[in-house]
């Protein structure tokens, strides 16, 4: 599958504000650069959630590789590629590093050590792909910075793909009081919107396990939604940001959105204002 980008949902409010949700896949080693864009609401496949065997198989079958083998020079950007024979050797070294990581991951996961996936999978991250759901109203700065030739080639590659999908998409109108609901299917639109909000939140959360785009199970989605709400004091509110309703004013701000109100903001407990009792003494 490699690099991919697709628009999950594209909406326009009565006041003219556009809200777009994309699903993107790119090498895990550029994820930190994507995280610097604070206007994005996002949820991503988690190394802590994916079973070790599944992670090992995915990395072995389709490792993430550089798209540009740049020669070392001063500055942050490599302007020239290495010679073809050097690239061949570089690829071999990259593969050797991957083989080492796989071997050590398998040993750490073996019964005599039996480490948890939140540790074992970290060794594989430099060679893994990551799937991310991103929702935002403001995209111009991201595209300006990351589609630029100075950007790292891998993030430029996915940013160019995202820009192409964004430009090709036509946002659908969403009436006042209605909702932007990613991952809701056409045959579910007749359900009550309160239920649809719950389903959408849960499915955006499921990207952590890479099960957001598979078989639909509404009962399990509602159960997951309820767990997210019940565990809200622990800070698991990010999936609620992908669901939003039009604001009356196109310039009205709701957290990192402009012109749309995040569903998350309908919950008074979505923001922890005090330290938990267990941490109070350490403060």
Say what the pTM is: 0.93
Angle between helices 84-109 and 52-61 (to 10 degrees): 160
Structure tokens at 142: 């991201």
Q: Is the pLDDT of residue 275 over 80?
A: no
**Would you give the DSSP letter of residue 250?**
T
**pLDDT-derived band of residue 235, with 50, 70 and 90 as boundaries?**
low
Q: Is the pLDDT of residue 273 over 80?
A: no
Cα separation, 115 vs 109, whole angstroms: 5
| pLDDT per position as a tens digit, 240-262 | 999 999 999 999 999 999 999 99
Is residue 283 packed enough to be buried (19+ CB in 10 Å), middle (13-18) or exposed (0-12)? exposed
Cα separation, 171 vs 169, whole angstroms: 6
Q: Is the pLDDT of residue 40 over 80?
A: yes
Mean pLDDT, rounded, for 109-113:
94
| Pairs from 210-217 (Cβ < 8 Å, separation ≥ 24) | 210/45, 210/50, 210/131, 212/133, 212/183, 213/23, 213/183, 216/185
Cα separation, 57 vs 81, whole angstroms: 30
Percent pLDDT > 70 in the chain is 95
Query: In this structure, are residues 84 and 90 in contact, taking their beta carbons and an 8 Å threshold?
Result: no
Give the pLDDT of residue 139.
98
| pLDDT per position as a tens digit, 49-98 | 999 999 999 999 999 999 999 999 998 888 899 999 999 999 999 999 99
Please tell me whether residue 67 adopts helix, strand or coil conformation. coil
| pLDDT per position as a tens digit, 186-234 | 999 999 999 999 999 999 999 988 888 777 899 999 999 999 998 755 6
Q: Is the pLDDT of residue 280 over 90?
A: no
Between 209 and 17, residue with greater pLDDT:
17
Query: In this structure, are residues 66 and 95 in contact, taking their beta carbons and an 8 Å threshold?
Result: no
Cα separation, 194 vs 188, whole angstroms: 12
Show the CA angle centred on residue 31, arms to residues 30 and 37, nearest 5°: 110
**pLDDT-derived band of residue 126, with 50, 70 and 90 as boundaries?**
very high
Cα separation, 100 vs 103, whole angstroms: 5
**Would you give the DSSP letter of residue 29?**
G
Q: Mean pLDDT over all residues of the chain?
A: 93
Return the closest-CA partner of residue 263 out of 171, 175, 173, 181: 181
Helix (H) / strand (E) containing 275? none
- Name residues whose C-beta falls within 8 Å of residue 64's C-beta, 6 or more positions apart in sequence: 27, 28, 29, 126, 127, 128, 129
Is residue 262 packed enough to be buried (19+ CB in 10 Å), middle (13-18) or exposed (0-12)? buried
Structure tokens at 153: 């080639």
Give the pLDDT of residue 76.
87
């Amino acid at each position: 599958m490699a690099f991919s980008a697709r628009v999950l949902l594209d909406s326009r409010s009565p006041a003219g504000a556009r809200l777009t949700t994309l699903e993107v896949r790119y090498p895990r080693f550029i994820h930190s650069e994507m995280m610097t864009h604070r206007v994005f609401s996002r949820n991503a496949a988690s190394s802590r959630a994916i079973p070790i065997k599944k992670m090992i198989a995915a990395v072995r079958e389709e490792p993430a590789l550089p798209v540009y083998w740049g020669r070392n020079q001063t500055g942050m950007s490599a302007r020239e590629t290495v010679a073809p024979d050097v690239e061949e050797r570089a690829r071999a070294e990259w593969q050797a590093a991957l083989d080492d990581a796989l071997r050590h991951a398998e040993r750490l996961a073996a019964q005599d050590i039996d480490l948890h996936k939140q540790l074992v999978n970290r060794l594989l991250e430099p060679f893994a792909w990551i799937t991310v759901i991103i929702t935002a109203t403001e995209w111009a700065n991201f595209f300006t910075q990351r589609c630029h030739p100075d950007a790292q080639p891998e993030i430029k590659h996915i940013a160019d793909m995202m820009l192409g999908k964004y430009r090709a998409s036509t946002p659908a109108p969403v009436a006042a009081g209605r909702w932007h609901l990613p991952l809701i299917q056409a045959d579910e639109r007749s359900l009550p919107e309160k239920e649809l909000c719950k389903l959408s939140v849960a499915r955006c959360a499921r990207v952590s396990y890479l099960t957001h785009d598979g078989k639909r199970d509404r009962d399990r989605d509602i159960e997951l939604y309820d767990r997210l709400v019940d565990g809200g004091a622990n800070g698991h509110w990010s999936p609620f940001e992908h669901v939003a309703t039009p604001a009356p004013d196109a310039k009205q701000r709701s957290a990192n959105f402009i012109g749309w109100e995040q569903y998350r903001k309908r919950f008074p407990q979505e923001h922890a204002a005090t330290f938990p009792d267990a941490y109070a003494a350490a403060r």
